[in-house]
Amino acid sequence: MAIRWYSVVIDSQDVAAQARWWAQVLSWEIVYESDDEVVIVPPIAVQQEQDPSSTPFADRAQGWVFVPVPEGKTVKNRIHLDLAPDRDSDHAAEVQRLVDLGARHVDVGQIESGPDAVTWTVLADPEGNEFCLLSPRD
């Protein structure tokens, strides 16, 4: 039996707004939208869907599914996303881009200056879900 990671489901109060925000942040595409579900995927997933036999089952791209919940977020996430800009990116400029899109800085106890300073920035999306923007990577 083959099994693969298929998607991440994200509880949201406003599924359309959250999906659009994350699609813009990641340069992903909305591939399905209804009142109670919005799906975003990376562009490679759209290409793979056009010819699914060209990509092995285990190597197909994952998507994110936004679903509605009545309650807002109340505590720190138990799991979070790490995003990384490419190696030629300016980390500070990317943080500013995300803030300009609606992210906000979050203090989860990280050390931000001195010899033990972390190399990432903790942010939250418009509904308060924490994520990290790592230093540029290959």
Report how far residue 115's alpha carbon sits from residue 6's, in angstroms, rounded to the nearest whole number: 40
Structural domain boundaries in the chain: 7-68, 81-133
Residue pair 44/2 in contact (Cβ under 8 Å)? The answer is no
Report how far residue 109's alpha carbon sits from residue 51's, in angstroms, rounded to the nearest whole number: 46
Q: What is the pLDDT along the chain (138 residues), one digit of tens a residue?
A: 678 888 999 999 999 999 999 999 999 999 999 999 999 999 988 888 777 777 887 788 899 999 999 998 888 888 899 999 999 999 999 999 999 999 999 987 777 777 777 788 999 999 999 999 998 888
Residue pair 133/94 in contact (Cβ under 8 Å)? The answer is yes
CATH 2.60.200.30 fits 7-68, yes or no: no
pTM across the whole model = 0.87
Closest CA to 76 of 17, 132, 13: 132
Report how far residue 39's alpha carbon sits from residue 8's, in angstroms, rounded to the nearest whole number: 10
Report how far residue 117's alpha carbon sits from residue 66's, in angstroms, rounded to the nearest whole number: 34
